[in-house]
Amino acid sequence: MLPATSFCTISSRKDDWQKTALGTSGENRLFAITLADEPITPADGVEEEAVSPTVLLTSEARGFGSRLVPLHHVAITEGPDGVELNASGDDPFLLLPEIEIPPGHRISLKMVLESPAETELRVYFTTPTSPDYTEELKARETIHRGLNNLVIDIFHPELVGPLRLDPGTKPGSYVLVSLEVLAYPNASW
């Protein structure tokens, strides 16, 4: 069982920055979100993970936009710069294509998203015992107007798909420039 606490680490260096927020949102739910302008390298004294991730989903596949399922206040079209998510209201959300998450794995969503305004991006997930998308089963991050490079890690021993993406809370055109969902083994549940 994970403690119901959270912490934030912010590290700044010349020409490089990173921000990581880790926290729990109830019993056995841990998430981490990292924003970076440059590729993130491990901090001093932290070893890199030696395990290669399994690619579960990539937006590079032809017709990726047609595999997204618009659910509320969003129209999806494929554009020259990526998949356009045109939000007609303040609560747009869509489902990412179904993925099979290997048992005992954590996932990372690596994405580049262009936003029309400063807002909050959310990724919701489900479990076998909580099959509905709820506030307790989400990761979130403030995003800024323009391009946002995001890495969202979701740690939960019973994580299942599909994932729900809420690109923001403001109407306008969001562009999903790239998306990759990776799975990493995690033996430390």
Domain layout of the chain by residue ranges: 21-39+52-185
Minimum mean pLDDT range among 55-59, 85-89, 99-103, 163-167: 99-103
pLDDT at 56 over 80: yes
Q: How confident is the model at residue 137 (pLDDT cuts 50, 70, 90)?
A: very high
Among 7-21, 30-44, 118-132, which range has the highest average pLDDT?
118-132
pLDDT at 17 over 70: no
Dihedral of alpha carbons 85, 161, 181, 9, sign: positive
Dihedral of alpha carbons 90, 76, 173, 34, sign: positive
Q: In the predicted model, what is the mean pLDDT of residues 65-85?
A: 94
What whole-number distance in Å separates Cα of residue 1 and Cα of residue 173? 40
**CA-closest candidate to residue 34, choices 45, 49, 18:** 18
**CA-closest candidate to residue 91, choices 114, 70, 113:** 70
Q: In the predicted model, what is the mean pLDDT of residues 34-48?
A: 50
Q: Given this model, what pLDDT does residue 50 score?
A: 60
| Percent of the chain clearing pLDDT 70 (strictly above) | 71
172: Cβ contacts below 8 Å, ≥ 6 apart: 86, 87, 115, 116, 117
Q: What is the mean pLDDT of the chain?
A: 79
Q: How confident is the model at residue 104 (pLDDT cuts 50, 70, 90)?
A: confident
Q: In the predicted model, what is the mean pLDDT of residues 138-149?
A: 96
pTM: 0.73
CATH architecture, range 21-39+52-185:
Sandwich (2.60)
Q: What single string gives the DSSP state of each residue in 59-76? A: TTSTTGGGGSEEEESEEE
140: Cβ contacts below 8 Å, ≥ 6 apart: 33, 120, 121, 122, 123
**CA-closest candidate to residue 67, choices 94, 42, 40, 88:** 94
49: Cβ contacts below 8 Å, ≥ 6 apart: 184
Q: What is the dihedral of CA 111, 115, 117, 119, to 10 degrees?
A: -30
Distances (CA, A) of 8 to 22, 23, 32, 54, 125: 6, 8, 10, 27, 22
Q: In the predicted model, what is the mean pLDDT of residues 79-106?
A: 92
